[in-house]
Amino acid sequence: MTSRKTLDSPDAYAVAWIAALPIERAAAEAMLDEEHGPPTGFVRPQTDTNVYTWGRMGEHNIVIASLAAGMLEKNPKMGKKSKKSPGFAHQGVENDRLFRASCTHVLGPDCRSCDAAGEIQRDPRDTSDPEIHYGIIASGNTLLLVEQKIVGVERIAAATKATIDNIKSDGHIRKIERWLCPPDPSTNANHARELRHEGTGRWLLDSPVFQSWHSGSHRHLWLYGLAGCGKTVLSSTVLDHLAETTDRPVLSFFFDFSDTTKQTTDGMLRSLAFQLSQSSAASISHLDALFQAHQDGGKKPATKALSDVVYKMLTNYKSIFVVLDALDESMTRAELLSWIRGITSRPELLHHAINADIRSYVAAELAHRPDFRNKVLSHDTLERIQSKVGDGADGMFRWAFCQLDTLARCRHNVAIEKALTCLLRDLYETYRRMLESIPSDVKSDAIRLLQFLVHSKRPLRLDEAIEVIATDIEDQSTGFDVDRRLFYQTDILYYCLGLVTVIRAANEELHLSHFSVKEYLVTNNQLKLPTASISITRTCLVYLTDIHGSYAEMKQNFPMARFAAEVWVGFAALAEASEGAASVKAFEGILQATIKFLQEESTFQRWCRLYQQDREWDNDSGPARGTRLYYACLGGLYRTARQLLDEGWDPNAQGSDHGSALQAASTAGHGEIVKLLLEKVADVNAQGGSCGNALQVASATGHGEIVKLLLDKGADVNAQGGIYGNALQAVSAGGHGEIVKLL
């Protein structure tokens, strides 16, 4: 052990591990994460000959107690001795005698004087191979030489063993979960359940094709339908039905356009692997093997490795249900379809069956939704709504939902009649009207909020969305103002009626209300990436400029602080890449805002305190470790880096985890910035950072074009240093065969 710290009191040790045999003690000591010296205040009684080892396992302080050397030989009732005991010779299995626990032994060096009637006769074993017994082995407990208290000792040992097992098991599984980062499908399923009208979806459960799949006659069932026809709600219906009707394991995954962790095959496999690991010991062993094969969580698993382990885990079951929803919202569809190839049944959702569900849904909304019930509408009006919306949906649940939402906001009968007369033909027309109907006094804030929701990698928490509204980027004198925060969080829905929804996950989150909403919004010029990236960057920079306080105070008082610090550089890089697509004024404006933000000491240090790109795992990353140029190069800000170089910033300055600006750009794969730095006389062989030099880090991360560029500029392929030693060892560790040939 490398650490021998001493705790203040024996009372700090909450768990005792009784290990009678030396080999048991050795195994227990090997499981300690840290070994301690005897605690302050520990006084050993003169009669205590036991051996104690003090240490920590996970979050728990452990004391391991075992017998002193030579104690084994003093027990006349043991049929085994330590191999280290001098003078012992095994007497052969034929001389091993087993007595019943109730037998009273006669004192003496052996059992030849004991009552033979108490001996248990055992058949000879067929093989000399060892047998493995799980649980507590009684002979180990008898070594404690407290025969009159043996039952109590067994109970203590059992409780201790269970505690240790739970500590190791739970702690290890949590470690694997943190490494795996599995997306949680339950948030999607729960939201779909909230939207589901009772009784709908019965047509699917009763259909012959579903019954065939449920019984196992068909291995695959693919439900195919247009966006908005209710497939996700049907998936939640299927999951609940399976939970009630089968004992077989049920796995699920919901692809989600609003959450980047739920848009790839890789994310799906992470989720399925973790779900499988919760259902059997055999499955967790497969996942643990993958964890250990990746340096005990030091490296992330490739998608292929995840796929292989999921297949292995699935083979532990005779049969299993896997429900995958919203395949059209996956960003890796070809890879996903390859993974589930072999699916042969793809019946399109039956329009007439869906329409029956829609009519039932509309009738229930009219009868129970307060917006309709409180209006006391006439029977004729209700019939007209039922006819126009229920029969006009043509299989589109989403369309019916939107029309009812519009009708619910009508203030009198004339408005309802006008709305029924002007029902829009399709979803895109519906969304266009929703966008146009946003009140003019909140229009700019609403557009900015939608820009965040369309292009952010994750949904906004509700308190983050409110901070977006509270940040004015049009009026330079205002900026972020706490007095612009909404009185009620749910008022955020007023800004984008029908286009957004609140989902209750771990925190309340603001989402676009449907995948089809995003598909429509990205066709709007104000919401396309070039314009949106400039707006999002400016919002984040203004917010980070106007907040204040210590790290703890910013975290507590300004909910969007960490998020803004994390995302602004990525959107600034996209904004720089939008040159020509955005207006010249907007482009130059955001470039100068970025330069100003980095150059001002207060804003630069505030940003680094909240988040540093090369230490994203650190919730409190402390003061800046690198230069402005270093972070600009790491983040891919080409125009910003060029201006900083023109202003005299040193490209060879060392700092932070990657060393120089050249090493930072090489790490992130920003080839154009690497070229720029080399043109500005950056030292191609500069030593520093965790990977030693730029060539080594580019090799380790698999950036072949940058490796070639560095070699052409004279990079020393044999230079030593860094965690890998040299470039060849770095690329070998990363498994990039083509770069090995290049080197």
Tens of pLDDT along 308-331?
Answer: 888 888 877 777 888 999 888 888
Q: What is the pLDDT of residue 566?
A: 94
Give the side-chain half-sphere CA count within 13 A for 560.
31
Helices 671-679/704-712 angle, 10° precision: 10
Block residue for tokens 């002007």: 422
Q: Is the pLDDT of residue 77 over 60?
A: no
- Residue 247 is predicted with a pLDDT of 81
Nearest CA-CA partner of 325 in 245, 248, 268:
268
CA angle 654, 657, 663 (to 5 degrees): 60
pLDDT (0 to 100) of residue 198: 77
CA atoms within 13 A on the CB side of 531: 15
Tens digit of pLDDT for each residue in 541-569? 999 999 999 888 998 999 999 999 999 99
Tokens describing residue 492: 């955020």
- Report pLDDT for 173: 79
Could you tell me the two tokens for 616? 């994203």
If one counts every other C-beta atom within 10 angstroms of the C-beta of residue 139, the result is 14
Query: pLDDT per residue over 267-285, tens digit each?
Result: 999 999 898 888 777 677 7
What distance, in Å, lies between the first and last C-alpha atoms of the chain? 39
Please give the Cα distance from 634 to 670 (Å, whole number): 8
Mean pLDDT throughout 580-602? 87
Collapsing DSSP to helix, strand or coil, 647 comes out as coil
pLDDT of residue 172: 76
**pLDDT at residue 604, rounded to an integer:** 95
Mean pLDDT, the chain, integer: 81
Q: Among 91-100, 361-370, 444-453, 632-641, name the one with the lowest average pLDDT.
A: 91-100
Residues 120-174: tens digit of each pLDDT:
776 666 555 555 444 444 444 444 343 434 444 454 455 545 544 543 456 777 8
Rounded to whole angstroms, what are the CA distances from 30 to 53, 290, 577, 718? Answer: 11, 21, 54, 39
Instruction: Give the up-direction half-sphere exposure of residue 46: CA atoms within 13 A in the CB hemisphere.
Output: 0
Residue with tokens 């994460």: 33
Could you tell me where the beta strands, DSSP code E, fall in 169-230?
Answer: none
Tokens 């999921």 belong to which residue?
Answer: 310
| pLDDT given at position 342 | 42
What is the reported pLDDT for 470? 95
pLDDT tier at 111, thresholds 50, 70, 90: confident
Dist CA 655 CA 191 (whole Å): 46
More confident residue, 678 or 730: 678
Name the residue type at position 492: I
Q: Mean pLDDT across the stretch 436-442?
A: 90
pLDDT bucket at 248, cuts 50 / 70 / 90: confident
Nearest-angstrom CA–CA distance, 491 and 402: 19
Supply 301's token pair: 């698993």
Q: Name the one residue in this structure whose structure tokens are 């600009």.
A: 632
CA distance 494 to 497: 5
Q: Can you give the pLDDT at residue 335?
A: 82
pLDDT, one tens digit per residue, over 333-349 is: 888 887 776 443 445 55
Pairing of β 60-66 and β 51-57: antiparallel
Cα angle: 352, vertex 357, 363; to 5 degrees: 125
pLDDT digits (tens, 9 = 90+) for 484-528: 999 988 889 889 988 998 887 667 899 998 888 898 999 999 999
Nearest to 658 by CA among 640, 670, 644: 670
Sign of CA dihedral 609, 611, 615, 620: positive
Where does 155-281 show beta strands of DSSP type E? Answer: 250-254
Instruction: Work out the number of other CB atoms within 10 angstroms of the CB of residue 326.
Output: 19
The model carries a pTM of 0.58
The tokens for 610 are 């909240």
Query: Residues of the chain with pLDDT > 90: what percent?
Result: 26
| Cβ 660 vs Cβ 636: under 8 Å | no
pLDDT score of 352: 65
Return d(Cα 630, Cα 274) in angstroms, integer.
38
Residue with the larger pLDDT of the pair 108 and 180: 180
Instruction: Check: CB of residue 726 under 8 Å from CB of residue 720.
Output: yes
Domains of the chain: 1-84+96-118+137-172 (no CATH), 181-339 (3.40.50), 351-423 (no CATH), 442-524 (1.10.10)
Higher pLDDT, 104 or 60: 60
Tell me: the pLDDT tens digits for 706-721?
999 999 999 888 888 8
The half-sphere exposure of 471 on its side-chain side, counting CA atoms within 13 A, is 27
Report the 3 state secondary structure along 348-374. Answer: ECCHHHHHHHHHHHHHHHHHHCHHHHC
| 3-class secondary structure, 263 | coil
Q: How far apart are CA 443 and CA 447, in angstroms?
A: 6
Which of 2-11, 379-388, 678-687 has the lowest average pLDDT?
Answer: 2-11
- Give SS3 for 508: strand
The whole-number pLDDT of residue 445 equals: 94
Q: Which two tokens stand for residue 261?
A: 């962790």
